[in-house]
Amino acid sequence: MSDALYHDRIVALAKSRAGAGKLEAPTASARRDNPLCGDRVTMDVRLDDQDRIVELAHQVRGCALCQASAVALAARATGLPKAEIGTLRAEIDAVLDGTAAGEGDFAAFAPVRPYRSRHDCVTLPFEALQDALKPR
């Protein structure tokens, strides 16, 4: 069954580490921990004066699903107004509960649906980004 979970696209996303790292001067940053497994994601974002995400970097201490999710999220979120991140979160939640197929690389997470204990691995980067974008 793990063949379905760790299919080629998930492994490729995780290994690519695209967008991994830190920003020199982030507008906002947030770290989220998964208290059950100890995984940790830090998201740095830089916003322009119209609250559009112009740059995003992630540091992930987590599993392949978490790594792949951070890469997929960074690719989709860069260039979006920060107000639209909630829409991306709703999309990945829908993929995980089987009510939507998901756009682009978000669709790669559909096989995670039956693995309830792994849903948090996928959503942790989203939570870190949403946390970073909260009004301070």
Partner 1 sequence: MSFDVAALRRQFPILGRPVNGNALHYLDNGASAQTPDAVLDAVRLYETTARANVLRGVHALAEAATEAYEGARADVARFLGGVPAEEVIFTGGCTAAINLVAQSYGSLLKPGDEIVLSVLEHHSNIVPWYQLAQRIGVKLRPLPVTDEGRIDVAALPQVVNARTRLISVAHVSNVTGAVVDVAAVVAAARGVGAKVMLDGAQRAPHGPVDLPALGVDFYVFAGHKAYGPNGIGVLWARRELLEAMPPFMGGGSMIGSVTFEAITWAPPPRRFEAGTPPIGPAVGLGAACRWMMGLDWTAIGSHEMGLTQRLMDGLAAVRSAWLIGPPGLQGRLPVVSFVLDDVHPHDVAQILDSFGVAVRAGHHCAQPLMERFDIAGTTRVCIAPYNDIGDIDALLAGVDEAVRRFA
Q: Toward partner 1, which CB reaches closer, 65 or 96?
A: 65
Residue with tokens 């920003």: 23
| Residue 110 sits in the site that holds partner 1 (CB under 8 A) | no
- Output 32 or 46, the one with its CB closest to partner 1: 32
Interface mask (CB under 8 A) for partner 1, residues 35-54, using x and -? -xxxxx--------------
> For residues 52-81, which are near partner 1 according to CB under 8 A?
61-66
Question: Burial code of 32-70, b = ≥16 C-beta within 10 A, e = fewer?
Answer: bbbeeeebbbbbbbbbeeeeebebbbbbbebbebbbbbb
Identity of the residue, 6 or 84, whose beta carbon is nearer to partner 1 in the bound complex: 6
**Number of residues this chain uses to bind partner 1 (CB under 8 A):** 21
Q: Which helix (H) or strand (E) holds 53?
A: strand 53-61
Chosen residue from 13, 121, 122, 124 binding partner 1 by CB under 8 A: 121
- The residue behind tokens 């992930």 is 60
Report the alpha-carbon angle 4-68-81, nearest 5: 130
| DSSP, residue by residue, 29-47 | EEEEE-TTT--EEEEEEEE
For partner 1, the closer CB: 81 or 116: 116
Which residues are at the interface with partner 1 (CB under 8 A)? 1-3, 5-6, 11, 14, 36-40, 61-66, 115, 118, 121
